[in-house]
Amino acid sequence: MAFQRDGKITPVLNDLSLEVAQGEFLCIVGPSGCGKSTLLSAMAGFLSPSSGEIRIDGQVVTGPDPRRIFVFQERGVFPWLTVEGNIEFGLFALARAERQRRIAHYITMVGLAGFEKAYPSELSGGMKQRLEVARALAVNPDMLLLDEPFGALDSITRLTMRRELLRIWEAEGNTVVFVTHDIEEAVQLADRVVVLSDRPAKIQQIVKIDIPHPRDISSARYLELRNGIFEQLGLAHAI
């Protein structure tokens, strides 16, 4: 897969063939700048590759689609809309009663009850991120594409958010593609972890995480899988 910028063709992802199963939680890790986010943007249809293609259910992706919602870092919520207004944003095609039902449902699901009328500027980083996830889920997408969604959060909030995301994923059954540079995060969340190399990115390894949720992050298997990925990326696990 290659992209054209300023008339120059930059190969970003090389010979990369990847299949995501329905309902799967897939994490993509790799060194910074390797093209993880580019791959995710292409899956969302924001970027069209000048070579290569992405197919979902056999159809080539040509543009963005509400069936697969991209979740940015917290900056993606609309500051001019309330919590309710943000969740309602993608529901314009639905009847009023159904809109109200979904707003109430997802506000409760992400734990923002009581903040319906609040504006994003009045929320913490973690709450904004949950709001964005709620906005995405409210349109019932088949896929959630998350681009380092917890990268801007503090480490305690990040841990809570991971647990929340898993809970929501188990309840909703969406396919999740989650880009992160945090190997621990990937091993805690994913069914499979895709390890990318430096640009032009190749798949170095796909690691199946065969630990059932909730995962004990001090178990031998967890550490073994995590260390395997660290080594794969050439990182020593001693500082």
Rank residues 76 and 126 by Cβ distance to other proteins and give the closer one: 76
Rounded to a whole number of angstroms, the distance between the first and last alpha carbons of the chain is 35
Near other proteins by CB under 8 A: residue from 17, 59, 121, 155: 121
**x-or-dash string of contact with other proteins, 13-52, rule CB under 8 A:** -------------------------------x-x------
* 177 closest CA partner among 213, 149, 157, 215: 149
- What gap in Å lies between CA 217 and CA 231, rounded to an integer? 18
Q: 3-class DSSP state for residue 235?
A: coil
**What is the closest distance, in whole angstroms, from the C-beta atom of residue 116 to other proteins in the complex?**
14
Q: Which is nearer to other proteins, 70 or 169 (CB)?
A: 70
Q: Pick the closest to residue 13 from 206, 197, 201, 198 (CA basis).
A: 201
69 contacts other proteins (rule: CB under 8 A): yes
Rg (CA), the chain: 18
Residue 147 or residue 185: which is nearer to other proteins going by CB?
Answer: 147
Shortest Cβ distance from residue 195 to other proteins (Å)?
27
- The answer to the question of residue 62 lying near other proteins (CB under 8 A) is no
| 3-state DSSP helix/strand/coil % of the chain, to nearest 5 | 40, 20, 45
Determine the 3-state secondary structure of 123 from DSSP. coil
What is the residue-wise DSSP string for 16-34? Answer: ------TT-EEEEE-STTS
Q: Min. distance of Cβ 90 from other proteins in angstroms? A: 4
Chain position carrying tokens 């992405």: 54
C-beta closer to other proteins: residue 41 or 197: 41
Work out whether 64 is an interface residue with other proteins (CB under 8 A). Answer: yes
Name the minimum Å distance from CB 44 to other proteins: 7
Residue 35 CB, shortest distance to other proteins, in Å, is 18
Residue closer to other proteins (CB basis): 59 or 92:
92
* Interaction between residue 115 and other proteins (CB under 8 A): no
Residues in the interface with other proteins (CB under 8 A) total: 22
Distance (Å) of CA 54 to CA 13, 26, 162: 12, 16, 27
If one asks whether residue 149 binds other proteins (CB under 8 A), the answer comes out as no
Query: Does the protein bind other proteins through residue 65 (CB under 8 A)?
Result: yes
Peptide bond into 149 cis (omega under 30): no
CB-wise, 93 or 236, nearer to other proteins?
Answer: 93
Token readout for 237 is: 């696990």
Q: Comparing C-alpha atoms, which of 110, 63, 68, 67 is closest to residue 86? A: 110
User: Which positions touch other proteins (CB under 8 A)?
Assistant: 44, 46, 63-66, 69-70, 72, 75-76, 78-81, 89-90, 92, 119-121, 139
